[in-house]
Amino acid sequence: MNHTSQAIAISEHVHWVGAIDWDLRDFHGYATTRGTSYNAYLITAGEVTLVDTVKAPFRDELLARIASVTEPGKIRTIISNHAEMDHSGSLPALIDALKPQRVFASALGVQALRDHFGLKNITPVKDGQAIDIGGGELTFYETRMLHWPDSMFTWYAGDGVLFSNDAFGMHLASVERFTDELPWPLIAEETARYYANILMPLSKLVGRLMERMQALALPIKLVATDHGPIWRQDIAKVFELYARWAAQFKTRKAVVVYDTMWGSTARMARAIADGLREAGVSARLMSMSGSHRSEVATELLEAGALLVGSPTLNRNIFPSLADVMTYLKGLAPRNLIGAAFGSYGWSSQAVGQLTDLLRQMDVEVIDEGVAAVYVPDVEALERCRTLGRRVADRLTERIKR
C-alpha cells in the first residue's frame, strides 16, 4: 500500500477515505483551477459504515484507503447523500463487490440512483429519521435542491460530525485534510468561488437551511464536506459566510465585464471605471479575453453593480459576452444595478442586446447604455465616465437604505 492510499483519521471513529483529483480543471463550466477532492468517510463505531463514494475512475483509490483501515467486505451500511456521479460513481461497483446489507438514500436519491445506474435495493430515509449503526446513530436531514433534489446531510452525533455532502465545500486539491492547515485567504477564496458558481442560484434555500441549522443547534465538531478540506476550527465562520451570501449582501464594488475588437470598448470600460472610482465605488475590470466566466460569477457574489460592454459583431454581441451572460443568467445574482456599453461601426445592436439581457437577469438598468461609433471620442468617453458616476451614486444610495 503506498502512502497516498492511506486513510486519515478525522475523529475517534471516522476516517477520510476519499480521493484527490489534482487535474480537474472544469466542473460544469466552472474553472476548477486548483483541482478538487471527492471525499468519502468510513465510520468504524459498531458496524462499519461508508458515507458517500467517489467518482468512478477513483474507485481503487477509495478501496485502498478503506483497506488501510479495515477489510472492505466488513462494510455493512452505505449512505448515499447525493446521487451526482462525483459521489455515487463508484457505488454500483462497491455494491457488487462488497454486498453491504443496506444502502440508504433520500426518497429522491433512491429514484435518482435508479435512474442513473438501475440500482434497485436502496432504502429511502426520511427527513429527521435516524438509523442505528451499532455504535451510535446517524440522522438524516434533507437539503432538497442544495444542489440537487435528492441531496441530504448525515449527522453522526457520536463524534459530532456533520457529513454535509456538497455544502460548505470547495474545489481544492490538497494533501491537507483540514481547512485550518491551509492559509485562510485561500480557503475563503475557494469557498466563495464554490458558493458563487454552484449555490448562488439557490440562495433562498441556502438561507432557509442556515436558519434550520441554527434552530437544530447540533453540537458540530466537524463539517465533513464532500469536496476540499474538512472544517474543524472555522465552522461558525463558514456558516456566517453562507448566511451573508444567501442574503446576497452587496458592497460598494462594481464589475465591468467586456470584450473588445480594436480596443474601443476597452477604452470605454476604463472610462466607466474612472467614473465609478470618482464616485467612491471600487471597480473590477474583467476582459473576457483574459477572465473566465466563473471568475466573473465570484466577483458578483458581493459586487452591487454589473456593467457589460461589447462591440457589435455581425449585428450581435461578441460570443465571449454571450457565454458569460448565459452563465450569469443561470446563476441569478440578485440586488444588482447595471448598464451596457460598446462601440460599433455601421450598425449598433450590442448595447441594446446586452441591456435586454441585463433586464432578463432582473438587474436594475439605470441607463439605456452608451454606444460609441468606431473609436470613442472625448465626448463619448465623458458619457462613459458619467455612466460610471451614475451607477456609483445609485449603488451608494441602495447600500445606505
Closest contact distance (angstroms) between CB of 109 and ligand FEO is 12
Helix (H) or strand (E) holding 27: strand 26-27
Is residue 82 at the binding interface for ligand FEO, with CB under 6 A as the rule?
Answer: yes
**Residue closest to ligand FEO when measured from CB atoms:** 84
Query: Residue from 52, 61, 86, 367 that binds ligand FEO (CB under 6 A)?
Result: 86
> Does residue 51 contact residue 79 with C-beta atoms inside 8 Å?
yes
Q: Which residues are known to be catalytic?
A: 28, 82, 84, 86, 147, 166, 194, 227
Closest contact distance (angstroms) between CB of 104 and ligand FEO is 18
> Does residue 254 contact residue 281 with C-beta atoms inside 8 Å?
yes
Distance between start and end Cα atoms, the chain: 61
Touching ligand FEO, residues 137-156 (CB under 6 A): 147-148
Query: Residue from 21, 61, 190, 226 that binds ligand FEO (CB under 6 A)?
Result: 226
* Candidate segments 78-86, 189-197, 317-325, 361-369, binder of ligand FEO by CB under 6 A: 78-86
Is residue 55 at the binding interface for ligand FEO, with CB under 6 A as the rule?
Answer: no
Neighbours of 8 (CB within 10 A): 17
Instruction: In whole angstroms, give the CA distance from residue 339 to residue 368.
Output: 7
Is residue 177 at the binding interface for ligand FEO, with CB under 6 A as the rule?
Answer: no
* Candidate segments 49-57, 81-89, 93-101, 231-239, binder of ligand FEO by CB under 6 A: 81-89
Touching ligand FEO, residues 348-387 (CB under 6 A): none
CB hemisphere CA count around 271 (13 angstroms)? 23
Q: What does the chain come to in residues? A: 401
Is 6 in a helix, a strand, or coil?
coil
Is residue 166 at the binding interface for ligand FEO, with CB under 6 A as the rule?
Answer: yes
Tell me the sheet residues that pair with 78.
50, 103
Nearer of residues 168 and 258 to ligand FEO, judged by Cβ: 168
Radius of gyration, alpha carbons of the chain = 24
Instruction: In whole angstroms, give the CA distance from residue 147 to residue 198.
Output: 8
Site string for ligand FEO, 107-136 (x = CB under 6 A): ------------------------------
Nearer of residues 30 and 104 to ligand FEO, judged by Cβ: 30
Instruction: In whole angstroms, give the CA distance from residue 327 to residue 201.
Output: 11
Nearer of residues 140 and 258 to ligand FEO, judged by Cβ: 140
Chain-centroid distance of CA 217 in Å reads 24
Q: Would you tell me which residues interact with ligand FEO (CB under 6 A)?
A: 82, 84, 86-87, 147-148, 166, 226-227
